[in-house]
Structure 1
Amino acid sequence: MNDFDQPDDLERRPPTDAEAERAVLGSMLLSQHAIDRAVAIVEPAAFYNPAHQTIFEAITAVYSRSRTPKVDPITVGEALGQAGDLNKIGGKDYLHRLVAAVPATSHVERYAEIVRDKALLRTVIETATRAASRAYAQQEEAGEILDDAMAEFQGAATGTSPLEVKLSVGDRWGSFLDELQAGKDPRALDTPWHELNDVVELKPGQLITVGAATGGGKSLLGMNLASHVAIRRNRPALVASLEMGGSELMARLTAAEASVDLDRLIRRKLTDHDWAKVIKTSDRMQNASNFILDDSPNLTLSKIRARLRWMAGHGNPAAIVVADYLQLMTPEGSGSNANRAQEVALLSRGLKLMAMEFEIPVVALAQFNRGSVGRQPLVTDFKDSSAIEQDSNVILLMHRPLAEDGTDTGPRAGEIDVIVAKNRNGANGRIIPLIFQGHYARLANYQHN
């Protein structure tokens, strides 16, 4: 017998603790305070015994009927009888036995935790079994099976189901009123650039694509935006970078935060004055544990999605993702006959779906075709695919107004334009001038006279 063989007669029973289930229900029948504590920990589906699920629902139904509820074996038995469920759970005698089986109602939270933990173990077994069955069938992409399994595991870990959604007008109305009263979407993120904030809001579920030519500042914008969210707004942020390694990302972040020359940081040739600035910003950087820089090789959508689930599992669900940059990402499931335009289209659509799945803005940095050099860019300049334009909620195009010889010596030396080329929730065509501080890896607000 090899390591993968299992004896045919091996019996595996699902994890359950009938004694803990009975103790939870008995405590709820004895004490209304126990009901509040139990309901905060478990729900009906956590009980393995269907009769216990029915009793739990009956108790909570009786408890919620009035301001002064009477919950005991008699009232719950009456409710079960009216619903035609009394005989299914073993009759009134079983309710009294539940009460007699309670060691102490003050321990109801511990009993409920045991019931919840057994239910989580059953979820793990069920999820793994479904994934294994699909894998053995070999009829789906491995990444799709893995993504679905990870979503179910994450849902179990956070106490939510991937299918739990609130879609009705009634569900949405309260939060919509809150937005109206606040004057903005409270879930929306701002940027470090004041004039851009007047035009664009970064909202959950949006794909924001930032386009630029090589060396055109898109990576600066992405890092500046992510650091603003993570360090200034104290919201978790993820930068998934295929353009630069972690050391270079840290150098750029430090240059922007400490106003230290980037070249000296990269070459590790700091002056005493530079060191004083770095030390001054050290506390802020050491406390930026919610700012994740992922420079894993061969980044894919699945790897970014897994990193987002990892952040959520550690209590820091990301508020924003910056992917640098789109055309360097490795596509999945595109097929051997797919051309690069088709692959980029799959990546673009995948990032949009990721934004909707995690309800966060995803900022995709993208490269222009070479034909855009020397002129103001257009949305048709994206390299490899026009699908980027279709999938994006917001498109920002970056353009440096250089001199005719290509040097930064013209009448607008040191400036860069951010063009709002597409904006589904606002005005299009606005041009936001910023100061290009490449030596500090930073884009600064333009100071008007």
Structure 2
Amino acid sequence: MNSTDSSAAGSAHSCEEPYDREAEQAVLGALLLVPRAVDTVVSVLRSGADFYEAAHEEVYRAVLAVHDRPGVRADPITVAAELGRRGSLARVGGASYLHTLVQAVPTAANAEHYAEKVAEAARRRDLIRALTAGLQRARLLDNSPEEAAEATLAELRRLAGNGGEQRGLWLGDLVPQFVDELEAGSDPDALDTPWPDLNAVVELKPGQLITVGAATGGGKSLFAMNLVAHVGLRRARPVLMASLEMGSKELVARLFASEATVPLDRLVRRRVEDRDWERMAAVAGMLQQAPVVLDDSPSLTVGTLRSRIRWMAAQGRPPALVVVDYLQLLTPERSGRATTRAQEVGDISRGLKLLAGEFGVPVVALAQFNRGSVGRRPLVSDFKESSAIEQDSNVIVLLHRELDGDGGDTGPKAGTVEAIVAKNRNGAAGRVVDLAFQGHYGRLTSLHGSRDAFA
């Protein structure tokens, strides 16, 4: 392609997508004139793909390749030689086009300005393509409108982040902050639990997937609701509670039971007594003001949770904690004859892990054990239907409660739930915290300090 052909091609495309041919030429010309401009230009352009014309991208990559060679200056002669070596000199318009680029530069001192114009045009093209793809998804009938919207929002979110100011994690900036946290004795971004003995072993940190496993009747729903109440009521931090195990009315009943010390059975059967009303009145206002979203929608997916989080953020209350009850009940976003149940659960587990990282929020996912765990202390390999849960989790807490055939407490530790910290990526593992099981009030309470799991 010669320079005339290249110019014609640029003009033909400029009416379809944002494209500044003069800025692209000026950037390349500046690099050929002033080699030190490379560092400035590279800090602005995301990659060679920011150039609209393929010929300009090839020239840019050749300039960088020459620039990386010690003692070699990137000028029209050395870059032409590099393009020849790559077999692309003719495609860019020959050596004469490189001299045309040099002549097209108004002033090499404005290389950064020209690069910014090229990068902006590239971002605009990306935006147009993302919106066009979103329109195509909306027309397809093989996915739901919610899935189409979620995919489009994810792409727009990525583009919005890429266009902003680059955030560098310089060590010099991180050290003072870390030292301040050491002096304060706590991580300001971490959440605690309502159980002091457990807090001595684990913290709920942003970006982590914390999995709480238990068999049926093992206390995992109580664990979840007590945690939601602690963060939402005591810490006044927004919480998203997604429940596929219980409806919203049952969740509210459990909150009233634990906070007002009213027997759960009376609340569920709507048979409260006068003294119960008094206790409930004392906490009703606090519950009404709690920044807690209870979502019991059927067919919840990881994508739906992502939408809920964005909705809460749009309300000015991004969640500080997300709780899912429970993981294996989430609807997989891909399924079919070629997909096994283990793969589906693995996708859900990985999706929750990515969700935690994307929004910088701890995600606590409850998980069910398989039947092989009955009658013994559980292991991390006991999670139902997938081993991926163990791999994806930053922290794993296994709840163990000895039950008889009718589901009642039995054994020497009747009325107690063992919280076994089986995995703790940033702390001690193998610790056991004993919690008192107060099912009639819908809560778990601390008993005493932790001990070794093999003690």
Measured at CA, do residues 426 and 162 of structure 1 come closer, stay the same or move farther in structure 2, by a change above 3 Å? farther
SS at match of 2:354: helix
SS at match of 2:198: helix
SS at match of 2:378: coil
> Deviations 1:131-156 (Å, cap 9, x if unpaired)?
22566699999877533432466689
Q: Quote the offset at 1:186 in angstroms.
A: 1.1
Q: Which residue of 1 aligns with 2:169?
A: 168
Q: Which residue of 2 aligns with 1:231?
A: 233
Contact 1:152–1:162 (CA under 8 A) maintained in structure 2: no
Q: Quote the offset at 1:414 in angstroms.
A: 1.2
Measured at CA, do residues 180 and 206 of structure 1 come closer, stay the same or move farther in structure 2, by a change above 3 Å? same
- Cα separation, 2, equivalents of 1:414 and 1:254: 21
> Deviations 1:344-397 (Å, cap 9, x if unpaired)?
000000000000001011001000011111111111111001111000000000
Measured at CA, do residues 331 and 165 of structure 1 come closer, stay the same or move farther in structure 2, by a change above 3 Å? farther
- Cα separation, 2, equivalents of 1:403 and 1:138: 50
SS at match of 2:153: helix
SS at match of 2:131: helix
What amino acid does structure 2 have at the position aligned with 1:385? S
Q: Which residue of 1 aligns with 2:132?
A: 129
> Deviations 1:216-272 (Å, cap 9, x if unpaired)?
110110111111111100110011010011111111111111111001000000000
Q: Which residue of 2 aligns with 1:258?
A: 260
- Cα separation, 1, equivalents of 2:274 and 2:406: 37
Does 2:315 correspond to 1:322?
Answer: no
- Cα separation, 1, equivalents of 2:293 and 2:442: 18
Q: Quote the offset at 1:188 in angstroms.
A: 0.4
Contact 1:154–1:309 (CA under 8 A) maintained in structure 2: no
Measured at CA, do residues 403 and 425 of structure 1 come closer, stay the same or move farther in structure 2, by a change above 3 Å? same
Measured at CA, do residues 167 and 392 of structure 1 come closer, stay the same or move farther in structure 2, by a change above 3 Å? farther
Deviates more, 1:145-154 or 1:318-327: 145-154
- Cα separation, 1, equivalents of 2:229 and 2:165: 32
- Cα separation, 1, equivalents of 2:414 and 2:374: 17
SS at match of 1:281: helix
Q: Which residue of 1 aligns with 2:50?
A: none
Does 2:213 correspond to 1:217?
Answer: no
Contact 2:217–2:407 (CA under 8 A) maintained in structure 1: no
RMSD: 3.5
**Number of residue pairs matched?**
338
SS at match of 2:223: helix
Q: TM-score, normalised by structure 1?
A: 0.67
Measured at CA, do residues 162 and 379 of structure 1 come closer, stay the same or move farther in structure 2, by a change above 3 Å? farther
SS at match of 2:266: helix
Q: Quote the offset at 1:404 in angstroms.
A: 8.8
What amino acid does structure 2 have at the position aligned with 1:321? V
SS at match of 2:323: strand
- Cα separation, 2, equivalents of 1:296 and 1:161: 33
> Deviations 1:191-240 (Å, cap 9, x if unpaired)?
00001000001101100000000111101101111111111001100110
Structure of greater Rg: 2
SS at match of 1:377: coil
Contact 2:260–2:279 (CA under 8 A) maintained in structure 1: yes
Contact 1:151–1:162 (CA under 8 A) maintained in structure 2: no
Q: Quote the offset at 1:283 in angstroms.
A: 1.2
> Deviations 1:278-303 (Å, cap 9, x if unpaired)?
00111101111x10100011000111
Q: 1:188 aligns with which of 181, 187, 190?
A: 190
Deviates more, 1:170-179 or 1:267-276: 170-179
Give the unaligned 5+ runs of structure 1: 1-10, 15-79, 89-120
- Cα separation, 2, equivalents of 1:145 and 1:176: 41
What amino acid does structure 1 have at the position aligned with 2:402? P
- Cα separation, 2, equivalents of 1:184 and 1:406: 40
Contact 1:326–1:347 (CA under 8 A) maintained in structure 2: yes
Q: Quote the offset at 1:185 in angstroms.
A: 1.8
What amino acid does structure 2 have at the position aligned with 1:318? P
Q: TM-score, normalised by structure 2?
A: 0.67
Q: Which residue of 1 aligns with 2:37?
A: none
Q: Which residue of 2 aligns with 1:433?
A: 434
Measured at CA, do residues 398 and 245 of structure 1 come closer, stay the same or move farther in structure 2, by a change above 3 Å? same
